[in-house]
Amino acid sequence: MKKKPRLISWGATTILMLFLSGCFYDEGLPETPDDNNVVSYEFDIQPIFTNHCTSCHPVLVSPPDLTAGNSYNSITNGVYIIANDIDASLLYQRLLGNPGIMPPSGSLPVSEIILVKSWIEQGALNN
């Protein structure tokens, strides 16, 4: 005599689907700095400039000079970064695409844009 295949109950199916769909979102969320963590210009922000910006700034496009040792003074002159004010910070607005996206090769990873935002909101310190 053949056994009939056992069907999974609707409750178990629902729980399985919720579990599997929850895993999808875990991988896509960007890491954000904890409110208690201070974003370091030297260790968090300058590496972003070095990896994504210095091929153009100051080589092809200038200003600002985003090379190590020059970038902080170049962007904190009251034009590109306004401490504690992301809306008035031109550099941050360009990372968002306002008026045009920087870098021109495509948007930075969201996690790096969040670091720049947090750094500005924390006072844009040279730390």
- The answer for residues whose C-beta is within 8 angstroms of residue 94's C-beta and 6 or more apart is 100, 101, 102
More confident residue, 85 or 61: 85
What is each CA distance from 117 to 21, 23, 45, 123, in whole angstroms?
Answer: 30, 28, 10, 10
Q: Tell me the whole-structure pTM to 2 decimals.
A: 0.71
CA 3 to chain CA centroid, nearest Å: 56
Q: What is the mean pLDDT of residues 83-101?
A: 95
Q: What is the mean pLDDT of residues 66-89?
A: 95
